Amino acid sequence: MATPPPIPMPGPGGPSAGPVQAGPVRDNIRAIIWALISVLGASAMSLAVRGVVLEIDSRMVVMFRAGVTSVVILGLVIAWPRLRKSLRFSRPGLHLLRGALIGVSTNLGFYTLAHIPLATATVLFFTAPIFATILGAVVHGEKVGPRRIAAVFAGVIGALVILRPGFEAFHPAMLTALASSALFSVALTLSRNLANADGALSTYFSSVVITVLVTLPVVVPVWQYPDTPVLWFAMAVVVAASALRGVADIQAYRFGEAAILAPIAYLRLVLIGFGAWLLFAETIDIATWIGAVIIISATLYIALREARLRKKNFPENS
């Protein structure tokens, strides 16, 4: 039986490090609960990142998050022989490539969160499924019908509405948001079967370790530790919320259907927009709202279309 491909999940300021693989068991209620947990974790991470990068370089935040996560996983692996036996890296080159892509993507994403309004960054991160659709056609030769092509073009238009090239509102960090989403999509497109081959833990562990290695050369010049209890707390929230979101993403798409879960992810825009207004006095401008409607509509259509195709091609998993 062929295995359906993982569903790419956009990540604000860094995607979840584990690929999201659809599983054979369907329990949409449980999946919705996990999806809501993912929304809360991703929103908390984005807000915490913004709070930290006001004082500390975003590269340091990436290093701290990936480094602490690597140490925690390593400690668990050492403590539990069962986990240690589950670690395997049968495709080291693919692990290295995927980890490097995620490492660069995370750095670009955190840079984005440091320089443009959180709501704007969040909307631009939602373009990941659009890039995944394009890459699926180019890399894997997947058939993309006229309706999905139209959805891709609509998403591009939505991004241009937000970017407003040539106007004062444009900021280079808007481009790093798109680049972060694109690289994340490449990582998932190139490693569709990696989790099946080596397991989710191995895939997650290799990505965070390689993120440390990718970030190390660029973080040395700006190395800085948090110097207040508030910053240490915010850093802890970044690590904990990121891990929670990663696990929740995997669990949600293990049990649920994309058609049901896709709309839930867009609750992040509401939570992050409210949190950014409350904590940082940020507001969402009209261009971002218009672009958000276009991008969310396009990516939601792509998700629903993928779900229908998945159900048609893999009815035993439905």
What the block records as the tokens of 152 is 């891709």
- Domains: count for the chain: 1
Q: Does some domain include residue 5?
A: no
What average pLDDT does the segment 93-120 reach?
A: 92
pLDDT tens digits, residue range 300-311?
Answer: 777 776 666 666
Q: Does some domain include residue 59?
A: yes
Q: Does some domain include residue 7?
A: no
pLDDT tens digits, residue range 168-217?
Answer: 567 888 899 989 988 988 887 666 667 778 877 888 899 999 999 999 99
User: What is the C-alpha to C-alpha distance for residues 69 and 208, in angstroms, rounded to an integer?
Assistant: 7
Q: Does some domain include residue 19?
A: no
Res 8 pLDDT > 60: no
User: What is the C-alpha to C-alpha distance for residues 153 and 308, in angstroms, rounded to an integer?
Assistant: 21
Residue 193 main-chain phi, psi, to 5 deg: -105, 10
pLDDT at res. 19: 46
Q: Does some domain include residue 261?
A: yes
Q: Which of 262, 268, 316 is nearest to 124 (CA)?
A: 268
Res 79 pLDDT > 80: yes
Q: Does some domain include residue 296?
A: yes
For the chain, strand residue ranges (E) read: none
SS3 282: coil
145 torsion bin: left (phi>0), alpha (psi -120 to 50), beta (else)? beta
What the block records as the tokens of 153 is 């073009």
- Which residues, other chains included, contact 254 with Cβ-Cβ below 8 Å and sequence gap of 6+? 21, 22, 23, 25, 31
Q: Which pLDDT band holds residue 20 (cuts at 50, 70, 90)?
A: very low
Q: Which pLDDT band holds residue 3 (cuts at 50, 70, 90)?
A: very low
Mean pLDDT check: name the lowest of 80-84, 118-122, 295-299: 295-299
The domain in which residue 40 lies consists of 28-317
Neighbours of 174 (CB within 10 A): 21
Q: Does some domain include residue 291?
A: yes
Instruction: Enter the pTM of the model.
Output: 0.80
Q: Does some domain include residue 292?
A: yes
User: What is the C-alpha to C-alpha distance for residues 144 and 175, in angstroms, rounded to an integer?
Assistant: 26
User: What is the C-alpha to C-alpha distance for residues 276 and 283, in angstroms, rounded to an integer?
Assistant: 8
pLDDT tens digits, residue range 231-261?
Answer: 999 999 999 998 888 778 777 777 776 667 7
The Cα-based distances of 25 to 32, 248, 257, 310 in angstroms read 14, 16, 10, 14
Q: Which of 223, 248, 239 is nearest to 73 (CA)?
A: 239
Question: Widest CA span of the chain, in angstroms?
Answer: 57
